[in-house]
Amino acid sequence: MSEMSFEEMLEQSLKTIRTGEVVEGTVIDVKEDEIILNIGYKSDGIITRNEYTNTPNVDLTTVVSVGDTMEVKVLKVNDGEGQVLLTYKRLAAEKGSKRLEEAFNNNEVLKAKVDKVLDGGLSIVVDEARVFIPASLVSDSYEKNLAKYAGEEIEFVISEFNPKKRRIIGDRKQLLVAKKSELQKELFEKIKVGDVVEGTVKNVTDFGAFIDLGGADGLLHISEMSWGRVENPKKVFKVGDTVKVLIKEISGDKIALSLKFADTNPWLHAAEKYAVGTIVKGKAARMTDFGAFVELEAGVDALLHVSQISKEHVEKPADVLKVNQEITAKVVDFNAEEKKISLSIKALDEDSEEASDNAEEGTEE
pLDDT value, residue 143: 84
pLDDT tens digits for range 257-283: 999 999 889 999 999 999 999 999 999
Separation between Cα atoms, residue 132 and residue 117, nearest integer Å: 10
Residue 6: CB atoms within 10 Å: 8
Sign of CA dihedral 304, 307, 313, 314: positive
DSSP secondary structure of 28-47:
EEE-SSEEEEE-SSSS-EEE
Question: Where are the alpha helices (H) located in 222-309, listed in sequence order?
Answer: 270-273
With H, G, I as helix, E, B as strand and everything else as coil, classify residue 62. helix
Taking the whole predicted model, whether its pTM rises above 0.75 is answered as no
Q: Amino acid letter at 289?
A: D
Sign of CA dihedral 255, 258, 261, 265: negative
**Where does residue 164 rank: exposed (0-12), middle (13-18), buried (19+ CB within 10 A)?**
exposed
pLDDT value, residue 1: 41
pLDDT value, residue 363: 53
pLDDT value, residue 49: 92
Separation between Cα atoms, residue 291 and residue 270, nearest integer Å: 21
Give CA separation, 58 vs 28, 50, 64, 167, 241, in Å: 19, 9, 11, 27, 43
Question: What 8-state DSSP symbol labels residue 127?
Answer: T
Separation between Cα atoms, residue 331 and residue 316, nearest integer Å: 21
Which residues of the chain are under the pLDDT cut of 70? Answer: 1-15, 79-80, 351, 353-365
